[in-house]
Amino acid sequence: MYLQHFGLTEFPFGITPDTGFAFSAQAHQEALNTLLVALQCGEGFVKVTGEVGTGKTLLCRRLLQSLGEGGAVTAYLPNPQLEPKTLLLALAEELGLPGTEGLAQFHLLKAISRGLLDFARDDRQVVLCIDEAQAMPLATLEALRLVSNLETEKRKLLQIVLFGQPELDAKLSTPSARQLLQRIGFHHRLSGLDREEVALYLQHRLRVAGYRGEPVFSRGAVRALRRASRGTPRLLNILAHKSLLSAFGEGRQVVRHRHVRGAVRDTEGASSPGWW
């Protein structure tokens, strides 16, 4: 497609979360710092919410990467729309606990407790990250709360980080989830890129993808992308990719405002890019 035309080694604006393209936007860095501090303080539950496309999954992967480098034991559940027992089985599998298949829920919880105690004896932190947490049934949230009760006199045996859309806040505000809500020690609301960060974000991803020439996106194109995406990284990636395709189709080396307008017309959820 346009890789050779622009001198790229890979596509710079994919929508699959890739820590190799991670951009240290202020909102993301603040969120990551909040998570690391909360986990260091020993909080049982931490919650991060944000609109669709603001980079929650990428943030989750950055957190797992940071924790792994620090020697922590990590577990990751990308699809938590599970029944309580299935969630416990998934947790046991992620932690590498043997002999849990076929156990009743009571014995399964005991096996997880023994495994977590073993990690605690080795002085190893155990963190469970749950993506798309707004999809969890209330019964599964309650099972998760019971798991979080496992603790020594000094600290929690398992720390849990919930990543979800704003619907998670609504679910946790119901009376049946009030016990879990009270246990959330830290909460961070993830926002998109601000006005000054959009151009830096575009340049960063192009540079990671191998580009070394003059700026590809004109100032008018950057402004249009900022307006159309409202700073949402996923939407910005989609529009930037389509804009590059449009410029490539014309044989151009620079993306102009008109290329962004064409991308916006072809993308649901995009706002008006304004006129230039």
Tens-place pLDDT, residues 225-261: 999 999 999 999 999 999 999 999 999 999 999 999 9
Q: Which part of the chain is CATH 1.10.8.60? A: 3-15+194-265
Do residues 23 and 201 lie in contact, with contact meaning Cβ atoms separated by under 8 Å? yes
Question: What is the per-residue pLDDT across 74-83, written as a single tens digit (0 to 9) for each?
Answer: 999 998 889 9
CA distance 102 to 84: 14
CA distance 45 to 269: 33
Q: Average model confidence (pLDDT) for the chain? A: 91
Cα 239 from chain centroid?
Answer: 20
Top-level class of domain 3-15+194-265: mainly alpha
Token representation of residue 257: 């405002």
Q: How confident is the model at residue 70 (pLDDT cuts 50, 70, 90)?
A: confident
Top-level class of domain 26-190: alpha beta
Do residues 247 and 259 lie in contact, with contact meaning Cβ atoms separated by under 8 Å? yes
> What sign does the dihedral 131-134-140-146 (CA atoms) show?
positive
Per DSSP, helices labelled H in 161-253 are: 167-172, 178-181, 197-208, 219-229, 233-249
Least confident piece of the model among 93-97, 145-149, 193-197, 228-232: 145-149
- Mean pLDDT, residues 173-191 taken together: 88
Q: Angle formed by the axes of helices 84-94 and 105-121, to 10°?
A: 30
| Structure confidence at residue 275 (pLDDT) | 56
| Structure confidence at residue 276 (pLDDT) | 47
Q: Which part of the chain is CATH 3.40.50.300? A: 26-190
